[in-house]
Chain A
Amino acid sequence: MEALHDDNVLDVRNLKMYFPITKGLLRRKVGDIKAVDDVSFMIKKHETLGLVGESGCGKTTTGRCILRLYRPTSGDIVFHGRDISKLSDHDLRPIRRHMSAIFQDPYGSLNPRQSAGTIAGLPLKIHHMVEKRDFNDKIAALFKMVGLNPSMMDRVPHEFSGGQRQRLGIARAIACQPSLIICDEPISALDVSIQAQIINLLEELQETIGLTYLFIAHDLSVVQHISNRVAVMYLGRIVEVASSQELYAAPLHPYTRALLSAIPIANPVLEKKRRRIVLKGEVPSPAHPPTGCHFHSRCELATADCREQRPPLRDVGRGHEVACFKV
């Protein structure tokens, strides 16, 4: 692509994705689910940006908008210097090979009737990136890269274990040498002892072939391990962005603090000393989010301002951004 030397692989500006709520026979629109509500962030080349939040906060929708599986309601998605948010399907085709996805469920995201080699090689065929006679060699090389034995090429997905299936999903994702991979909860369906293998593989691949990741997950300890920077989402908005070290050492947003304190650490001695912040209530519905700051209904620090105005994401130094009036 024309601007591959650009430093920012992805620049998302004011992204909004609203899903209509319809009612009655005529499917009259009665409201919006604001799944993603004005989200902006950048991802630099060879960087991993983690996106964390609880279920329903819009992290997967954000990923899908970037992949242009959805047409966003508004906002720009600048990928290698080009806004792809409004492109037609036809114009998107040549761009699609530069970004790919790894999905959560290695059982549902692989076609059970295709052989492993066909699955991994399909993107290559679609984008005409391989000659027929080189196909097997190319797939074998891909398999080796992700730690699968090339002799397993002719097997079908059910013959693979969960970890191997996820490796196959990764092989498919890197087949076209993309620059950006959206990893949507890639390890949460795996056994604990297998998760580390996949995390390590993703980290190795990033170093060897220079990938950029958007790593979406709900498990903050995993996200922190793999990411350079972490963005925390709550009810469709980003509430805090910081380097993963800093987010752990000095979280600023009240929601981030509660989220961090909710995660138990596997160390009983440390656990005894930790202060626990237990949030009251539950996440409000994105169809009727609270006014002002979305978090004010559960926030200890909330004042009248928080109820009325939306706090903007502002920089507090060293690239640490937070959307809160009170810090």
Chain B
Amino acid sequence: MTVLLNVENLKTHFYTYRGLVKAVDGFSCHLNEGEIIGLVGESGCGKSVSMLSIMQLISSPPGQIVGGSVIFEGQDLLKYKAKGEEMSSIRGGKIAMIFQEPMTSLNPVLSIRRQITEGLELHLNMNPQSAKDRAISLLNMVGISDAETRINDYPHQFSGGMRQRVMIAIALSCNPKILIADEPTTAVDVTTQAQLLELMQEMVVHFNTSLIIVTHNLGVVARYAERIYVMYSGRIIESGLSEDIFAHPRHPYTIGLLNCVPQLGETRANRKLVPIAGLPPNLINMPPYCAFFPRCPHRIDKCRREPWPELRPVGDQHYISCFVDVQEK
């Protein structure tokens, strides 16, 4: 399997009036060809910012990518200017993104046709007619019936689930190598969520695309992702094959997260939820040591004395960033 995307030690900081926010602080991951990976974490842990950094969509100021590398097809994307030609041809062309909120990420004053064909004309140099034909076939593919007429509709004429289907069609329009889906289903109902995720899975196989699913829903990654990255306060704290992480989580945060989410089929009679103590950290002016330290049930003195540990292997493709190795019995 060839590595398609390799992100090393990515750091994105925001300079705010209240202090320095290290939203992403040493994020590393890789994506193989044809693979579906999941990026999990709570809100505010830096999932979206890390993905936006890969696309160089961080608005500066206040944000700035201060370090790291994003190697895609042998090139470091961070070497390119954010508004330069190279980045523009990659963004939307080779790496496409589906955003969380389909109402705000679609332009309300442009027809669906305009929004799909824009990328086709820009990246694939199609003429308007062939771009329109492709747009119609894409809409058919993502399950929008009567695509010939609906292509002239505007976003407000579509329901939430339908809008997200349009977003998927736009993202896939230029045959991207990588599709980044940033919380694609948080704004929709669970049966619609199932429809959309099945559709995305079908589409990535059909277009031979690799997919990064960003979500806070552990179930979604368990169902679709082959490998999982767990993120906490700007860093990857555990990564590994999906089966390993769910069966044998090794980082105290991952263990806590799995213990505090109710699962289907469990009632309070057969399992009591164990909440993680404390609150998610405030990212302003973080201490240099492990950010999970104040909430960690397995903490030792070393955790506070030394800086945040690097990821270390604990099994086949299984890495954790922790001094303590909690072996789940």
Pair A266/B218 contact, Cβ less than 8 Å: yes
Contact with A along B289-302 (1 / 0, CB 8 A): 00000000000000
Pair B265/A248 contact, Cβ less than 8 Å: yes
Q: Does A265 contact B (CB under 8 A)?
A: yes
Q: Does A316 contact B (CB under 8 A)?
A: no
Pair B275/A224 contact, Cβ less than 8 Å: no
Q: How far is the CB of B324 from chain A (nearest CB, A)?
A: 19
Q: A264-B223, A268-B246 are in contact. Are A220 and B264 (CB under 8 A)?
A: yes
Pair A196/B264 contact, Cβ less than 8 Å: no
Q: A262-B190, A278-B194 are in contact. Are A244 and B267 (CB under 8 A)?
A: yes
Pair A193/B190 contact, Cβ less than 8 Å: no
Q: How far is the CB of A296 from chain B (nearest CB, A)?
A: 16
Cα–Cα distance between A262 and B198 once the two chains are bound (Å): 10
Contact with A along B232-247 (1 / 0, CB 8 A): 0000000000110011
Cα–Cα distance between A296 and B272 once the two chains are bound (Å): 38
Q: Does B280 contact A (CB under 8 A)?
A: yes
Stretch in contact with the other chain, from A19-27, A136-144, A253-261, A302-310: A253-261
Pair A265/B247 contact, Cβ less than 8 Å: no
Cα–Cα distance between A263 and B266 once the two chains are bound (Å): 13
Q: How far is the CB of A183 from chain B (nearest CB, A)?
A: 15
Pair B276/A262 contact, Cβ less than 8 Å: no
Give the 6 A-B residue pairs with the shortest CB-CB distance, closest first: A264-B219, A262-B194, A196-B260, A225-B262, A196-B275, A266-B218
Which residues of chain A in 177-197 are interfacial with respect to chain B, using CB atoms and an 8 Å cutoff?
A: 191-197
Q: Does B268 contact A (CB under 8 A)?
A: yes
What residues of chain B lie closer than 8 Å to A262, measured between beta carbons?
A: 190-191, 193-194
Which residues of chain A in 195-253 are interfacial with respect to chain B, using CB atoms and an 8 Å cutoff?
A: 195-197, 199-200, 203, 218-222, 224-227, 244-245, 248-249
Pair A193/B256 contact, Cβ less than 8 Å: yes
What residues of chain A lie closer than 8 Å to B42, measured between beta carbons?
A: 191-193
What residues of chain A lie closer than 8 Å to B274, measured between beta carbons?
A: 196
Contact with B along A286-300 (1 / 0, CB 8 A): 000000000000000
Cα–Cα distance between A232 and B193 once the two chains are bound (Å): 18
14 extra interface residue pairs, beta carbon distance < 8 Å, beyond A55-B189, A248-B265, A259-B190: A54-B189, A54-B190, A192-B260, A195-B261, A196-B261, A196-B276, A218-B189, A221-B219, A221-B263, A226-B268, A263-B190, A266-B261, A268-B223, A268-B242
Q: Does A87 contact B (CB under 8 A)?
A: no
17 intermolecular pairs with C-beta atoms under 8 Å apart: A54-B189, A54-B191, A54-B192, A192-B42, A194-B279, A196-B260, A200-B272, A221-B219, A224-B265, A224-B266, A225-B273, A226-B262, A248-B264, A267-B263, A269-B246, A269-B247, A279-B194
Cα–Cα distance between A269 and B242 once the two chains are bound (Å): 9
Pair A193/B223 contact, Cβ less than 8 Å: no
Cα–Cα distance between A311 and B219 once the two chains are bound (Å): 33
What residues of chain B lie closer than 8 Å to A196, measured between beta carbons?
A: 259-262, 273-276
Q: How far is the CB of B158 from chain A (nearest CB, A)?
A: 10
Q: Does A271 contact B (CB under 8 A)?
A: yes
Q: Does A64 contact B (CB under 8 A)?
A: no
CB closest residue in chain B, given A191: B42
Pair A269/B243 contact, Cβ less than 8 Å: yes
What residues of chain A lie closer than 8 Å to B193, measured between beta carbons?
A: 262
Cα–Cα distance between A295 and B199 once the two chains are bound (Å): 23
What residues of chain B lie closer than 8 Å to A194, measured between beta carbons?
A: 275, 279-280
Q: Which of A222, A259, A265, A283 has the most CB of B within 10 A?
A: A265
Cα–Cα distance between A225 and B266 once the two chains are bound (Å): 6
Q: Does B208 contact A (CB under 8 A)?
A: no
Pair A221/B262 contact, Cβ less than 8 Å: yes
Pair A259/B191 contact, Cβ less than 8 Å: yes
Which residues of chain B in 203-223 are interfacial with respect to chain A, using CB atoms and an 8 Å cutoff?
A: 216-223
CB closest residue in chain A, given B44: A191
Q: A225-B268, A264-B220 are in contact. Are A276 and B192 (CB under 8 A)?
A: no
What residues of chain A lie closer than 8 Å to B242, measured between beta carbons?
A: 268
Pair B219/A191 contact, Cβ less than 8 Å: no
Q: Does A161 contact B (CB under 8 A)?
A: yes
Cα–Cα distance between A257 and B15 once the two chains are bound (Å): 49
What residues of chain B lie closer than 8 Å to A226, measured between beta carbons?
A: 262, 268
Q: How far is the CB of B222 from chain A (nearest CB, A)?
A: 5
